[in-house]
Amino acid sequence: MADDPLARFAPMPLAKLLGVELVEATPERVVARLVVRDEICTAGGILHGGAFMALADTVGATGAALNLPEGANTTTIESKTNFLGSAPVGMQVTAEALPVHRGRRSSVWQTRITNPAGKLLALVTQTQLVI
């Protein structure tokens, strides 16, 4: 699909609220960064699980949107997250989403969220419905 990735990303107000920065967006790969702030943390000063999930959902949905046929939309119908590490306030995490399956009716995306040293903090698999 030959559209502007930022145009697909822009309508996501939650991504803006979280501070998600889109780094790369192609039909084969989406990368974004997020700096951990107090407002998106647990009481312990680490990135909230919901923020991890929202970051992953944002990049996976962006990838799915970049693969849609003209006039179609997408929505997440399933998501599974494995939390493997933590991210304290001030850390910048990176999310990379890659397609596992891109079909006519759905796509499946796997997102790896890592710290600056490359340590895997969360692994998310989501299914996007084509509507």
Q: Domain extents for the chain?
A: 5-130
CB-count exposure of residue 115 (10 Å: 0-12, 13-18, 19+)? middle
- C-alpha distances out from residue 94 to 7, 47, 84, 120, Å: 21, 13, 14, 10
The order of strands in the sheet holding 21-26 is: 21-26, 29-35, 92-102, 106-114, 120-130, 74-83
pTM here is: 0.93
CATH homologous superfamily of 5-130: Hotdog Thioesterase (3.10.129.10)
Name the percent of the chain lying above pLDDT 70.
92
With beta carbons less than 8 A apart as the criterion, state whether 58 and 110 touch. no
Nearest to 20 by CA among 110, 125, 120, 93: 93
pLDDT at 115 over 60: yes
The whole-number pLDDT of residue 114 equals 99
Q: Express each pLDDT in 14-71 by its tens digit.
A: 999 999 999 999 999 999 999 999 999 999 999 999 999 999 999 999 999 999 999 9
pLDDT at 5 over 60: no
Instruction: Give the integer Cα–Cα distance in Å for 24 and 41.
Output: 25
